[in-house]
Amino acid sequence: MTEAATVRVPGGAQAVQRALDVLHCFHDNGPDLSASELARRLELPVSTAHRLARTLLGAGFLEQDARTSRYRLGPAVTELGRLSYHQRGLHLAAPELSDLAERTGATADLALRSGPHAVIVAGGSVTPKVGLRRPLHSTALGKVLLAWARPGEGGPSSLPPLPAFTDRTIVEPAAMEAELARVRDDAYALNDGESAYGVRTLAVPVLDGAGHARFALAVRATPEVITAARTEWFLVQARSCARALEVLLLSPAERRPPAS
């Protein structure tokens, strides 16, 4: 299992590509990694991994523990992250999400797409899973992001592995295509134990003017809370919140007309 998270572009880029892979390495694996661990994870010679790490260190994208000389994400990442967080207006979303969570008694999560993953960037729960990466094919958030995928982000065809987490996980590409058609028809996605048992999630898109999903909004709870009878009510709440987020997160130019 190589780190094929990013699309390999043909143009000259190997060194940069690898350096970015080093950074990407820090979600999946622990908060800090040694040079040789990096090399192993990325299947690179130690020498090369070490050089990349030193370069990232010099630019502030990594920092090194003085005692153990292990690497962890550096101040430049924190800085740029805060910047893009605010540029996307995500700090405006937090109150809306808390409100939704409180109103519904469920967990509310907002995710955006990052390559082949859905990434939760803001949450309205008490223990936010913010920063968490979820696969696209086995989560309600992911299915929404796939169903209304922006052009150029790659549709469901760009996800070869599709590992099964439970016996309900959809793994067949054809079944996934059918599921996405259903999601588009009903205008919401349901995840009923496809990534873990005992968790039911409803997700709706935050759409832009072109009809593509910029974000996905999820409401998550146990099946006892989100019963079939109450599903419609949860959807109304979620869609209302999604509508509010369209106004908060999208500039007027990219927003869709109010009466759509």
Partner DNA sequence: AACTCGCTTCCCATGATGTGGGATTGAGGA
Partner DNA sequence: TCCTCAATCCCACATCATGGGAAGCGAGTT
User: Could you list the residues that contact its own copies (CB under 8 A)?
Assistant: 6-9, 11-13, 15-17, 19-21, 23-24, 26-27, 31, 51-52, 54-61, 66, 72-88, 90-91, 112-115, 119, 121, 130-131, 133, 150-152, 210
**Residue pair 188/201 in contact by the 8 Å Cβ criterion:** no
Q: Does 52 bind DNA (CB under 7 A)?
A: yes
**Three-state SS across 32-56?**
EECHHHHHHHHCCCHHHHHHHHHHH
Please report where in the chains the tokens 């409803």 appear, as a residue. 202
Tokens of residue 182, six digits: 């259903």
Q: Does 14 bind DNA (CB under 7 A)?
A: yes
Q: Which of 149, 139, 72 is nearest to 113 (CA)?
A: 149
Please report where in the chains the tokens 């820090």 appear, as a residue. 26
Q: Which is nearer to DNA, 33 or 221 (CB)?
A: 33
Binding site partner of 61, from its own copies, DNA, none, Cβ cut-off 5-8 A by kind: its own copies
Please report where in the chains the tokens 């936010």 appear, as a residue. 128
- DSSP-derived secondary structure letter, 258: T
Q: Which of 119, 180, 182 is nearest to 146 (CA)?
A: 180
Binding site partner of 168, from its own copies, DNA, none, Cβ cut-off 5-8 A by kind: none
Residue of the chain from 44, 76, 94, 162 that contacts DNA (CB under 7 A): 44
Binding site partner of 72, from DNA, its own copies, none, Cβ cut-off 5-8 A by kind: its own copies
Kindly state the smallest distance separating residue 67's Cβ from DNA, in Å: 8
Binding site partner of 119, from DNA, its own copies, none, Cβ cut-off 5-8 A by kind: its own copies
Kindly state the smallest distance separating residue 112's Cβ from DNA, in Å: 22
Residues 65 and 97: their CA atoms lie apart, in Å, by 36
Kindly state the smallest distance separating residue 178's Cβ from its own copies, in Å: 28
Q: Which long-range contacts (CB under 8 A, 24 or more apart) does 28-32 make?
A: 28/133, 31/72, 31/73, 32/65, 32/68, 32/70, 32/71, 32/72
Other Cβ atoms within 10 Å of 194 Cβ, number = 25
Binding site partner of 114, from its own copies, DNA, none, Cβ cut-off 5-8 A by kind: its own copies
Kindly state the smallest distance separating residue 150's Cβ from DNA, in Å: 15
Binding site partner of 85, from DNA, its own copies, none, Cβ cut-off 5-8 A by kind: its own copies
Q: Does 12 bind DNA (CB under 7 A)?
A: yes
Binding site partner of 80, from DNA, its own copies, none, Cβ cut-off 5-8 A by kind: its own copies
* Angle CA 218–77–53, to nearest 5: 125
Residue of the chain from 46, 171, 181, 247 that contacts DNA (CB under 7 A): 46
Residues that bind DNA (CB under 7 A): 11-18, 34-37, 44-48, 50-52, 54, 64, 69-70
